[in-house]
Amino acid sequence: MSTTLLYQMFGIRGYEYRRTDYHQGTACFVIEQPRQKYRCSACGTASVHAQGHKDRFLQSLPIGGKPTYVSLQVARVLCLDCHLTRQVKVPFADPWRTYTHAFERYALELSRFGTIQDVAQHLNVGWDIIKDIQKRNLFRKFGKPKLKNLKEIAIDELAIGKGHSYVTLVLDLRSGAVVFVGDGKGVEALTLFWKRLRSSHAKVQAVATDMSKAYIRAVRENLPRAIHVFDHFHVIKLYNDKLSAFRRELFRELTDDHTRKLLKGTRWLLLKNPENLDDDRNETERLAAALELNTPLTIVYYMKDDLRQIGEQQSKAQARRVLDDWIRRAEASKIDMLERFAETLREHREGILNYYDHRISTGPLEGVNTKIQAMKRQAFGFRDPEFFKLKILGLHKTKYALVG
């Protein structure tokens, strides 16, 4: 092998080829750096004096599926300018690593098509080496997202595992990138984000969250000038939770077996939008039969459809009229569940209507959650929390597809 081929194929420059050793199906290229190439790794001066060497054994690109290695003696030199003894820099490999830059780039390329274990088996290395390569690459690209240009953001927590394990995500709604991943949920998970946001001097115009009192207080304290938008998705979700509780309460109060049988199993029918009911499974008829038996349940169900109209108006003025009308009808229904929900909407009225000033929501975070679940299935779980966070921060540049 010539020195030119060593440079062209393996990216090794400034070294001379000496020989190739073969052992148990592997090839090891022995190279040497000429004395005149020695440089201080700190200041770059050539005024150095050799003080011995250290052997390094680095894995490089495979050839024909066979592992290849590079063996060299890294000179230790005394810098006459710095007056310190250091090892010379190896330009084609990082310190403390057992592989070359070319091997690292190849592993990252393969990682686009396979799991960590697949890539490790193909390259004949441990899975921890491939994970370390991915982790360092993710940190270089996404470890410290820039917050200076944030204008519109969404904040929400996502369940990531069993045992009530959560992360709190902050999403840049304009770029689609996750810019912060906090441990747990609630205000405490965002403490570091608010600190970094203040340091960045970002001018956030609008924030989308659910109607959690903790988020309301946190946004008011840390972004007093931003418009706070209460997501319509969470409004409907909260109403569905109340509707399910209302149905369960009615079921417990019923004494007639026939009526209880009709009402049982209607939970998912009540939560479905009318246009999504499946006539082939008689869902429309089953729901209609259950509603006929109980007037309060009928009112609560159809009020949900009216509630959806608040987020579908053409202007803020129209949405205000629809919202105010819904609140008045809910208060006049004399149904405790509707009265309490109307009080909640009245309290958060302006935040709900702010949607028409900034049409943002936490909906894109549901797409992020879908990608996270696909990522977890591909990797069979993440035991390294820091690696998991970096993977989430890089999701907007990641594509997941079923292959086979």
Contact 382, 388 (CB under 8 A): yes
* Identity of the residue numbered 54: K
Strand partners for 32:
16
pTM of the model: 0.78
DSSP letter at 362 equals S
* DSSP code for 114: S
State the residue for tokens 């006539």: 279
pLDDT per residue over 4-58, tens digit each?
777 788 888 889 888 999 988 899 999 999 999 999 989 989 999 998 999 999 9
pLDDT in tens, 101-152: 999 999 999 988 888 888 999 999 999 999 999 999 999 999 889 999 999 9
Burial of 26 from C-beta contacts in 10 A (0-12 / 13-18 / 19+): middle
Residues in the chain where the model's pLDDT stays below 70:
1-2, 161-164, 250-295, 378-381, 399-404
Encoded amino acid at 76, one letter: R
Structure confidence at residue 378 (pLDDT)? 66
Note the Cα 394 to chain centre separation in Å: 7
Residue partners of 373: CB distance under 8 A and separation at least 6: none
> Which of 16, 103, 13 has the alpha carbon at shortest distance from 59?
103
CA-closest candidate to residue 346, choices 323, 317, 318: 323
- Determine which helix (DSSP H) or strand (DSSP E) holds 79, and give its type and residue range: strand 66-79
**In whole angstroms, what is the distance from residue 338 CA to residue 246 CA?**
10
Residues 6+ apart with CB under 8 A from 279: none
Both structure tokens of 110: 């393969």
Does domain 152-231+361-397 sit in CATH 3.40.50.1000?
no
Phi, psi torsion values for 319, nearest 5 degrees = -65, -35
The conformation of residue 49, written as its DSSP 8-state character, comes to: E
